[in-house]
Amino acid sequence: MFLAHGGGIGRAVCQRFASEGASVVVADISEESANETLGSLPSDLRGQAHRAAVVDVSSKESVKKLITSIQTQYFQPPSVCVNAAGITQDDFLLNMDEDHFDKVIQVNLKGSFLVIQAVAQALVACGAPKGSIVTVGSIVGKVGNIGQANYAASKAGVEGLTRTAAKELSRFGIRCNCVLPGFISTPMTDKVPEKVISKMKSLVPLGRMGEPTEVADVCAFLASDDSRYITGASVEVTGGLFIG
């Protein structure tokens, strides 16, 4: 069983896990986005039961309600959780509105905390022998980016949060790892001018933007038993960006 979010990278992750036979819960603040992703999932494999759900990850009540509803429907908490929820509200540091800073922190960092906490509490309470939580950070959290003080701070926090969670939850058999995407082609980047895209590609040793499916592949590895001896790791999916 799997919990993810319905847009961009999250959609690719949901599709990958469904193709592996998981029952996928697509959770998004946008019901339309969640249902679009739900409609794209394969369900040919026996026993799969996908569903869409609306959640505001910045609200503890909303997150707890979601986890409770999953347990009611599936008779267990999600054994795998990928939290790909995230927003940007960009501006230069000198001009950034405090509300925009707070909103990005609320969704990206506090949201990650609330999701990890709720899933872990449910897994521990039911005595599950293992679980895997994957957070989606960003390479921006490591290196910063002009105009993204709020986003960079939130994603740096997600990485630190994930490592701390890994240390605290390992005794319960729960692994926590973080994926750090670089320049990934998503609907958001479709709006970026081609001149800017070309500049971005020139900075990547592999010479291209990444695809959401390539991030999903790493998430699938970290969720699987193939990574059973990996916890507290941060995996860069950047095409070699910033390797020196």
Any idea which residues carry the catalytic annotation? 151
Query: What values do phi and psi take at 242, rounded to 5?
Result: 65, 25
Of 17, 9, 7, which is closest to residue 132 (Cα–Cα)?
Answer: 17
* H-helix segments, 58-211: 60-74, 98-104, 111-125, 140-143, 149-169, 194-202
Q: What is the DSSP letter of 204?
A: S
- How far apart are the C-alpha atoms of 106 and 141, rounded to whole Å? 16
Beta-carbon count within 10 A of 105 CB? 17
Query: What values do phi and psi take at 15, rounded to 5?
Result: -65, -40
51 within 8 A of 18, measured Cβ to Cβ: no
116 within 8 A of 176, measured Cβ to Cβ: yes
- How far apart are the C-alpha atoms of 7 and 186, rounded to whole Å? 9
Q: What is the DSSP letter of 56?
A: -
| C-alpha Rg value of the chain to the nearest Å | 17
Q: Which residues contact 77 (CB under 8 A, 6 or more apart)?
A: 1, 67, 70, 71, 119, 122, 123, 126, 128, 131
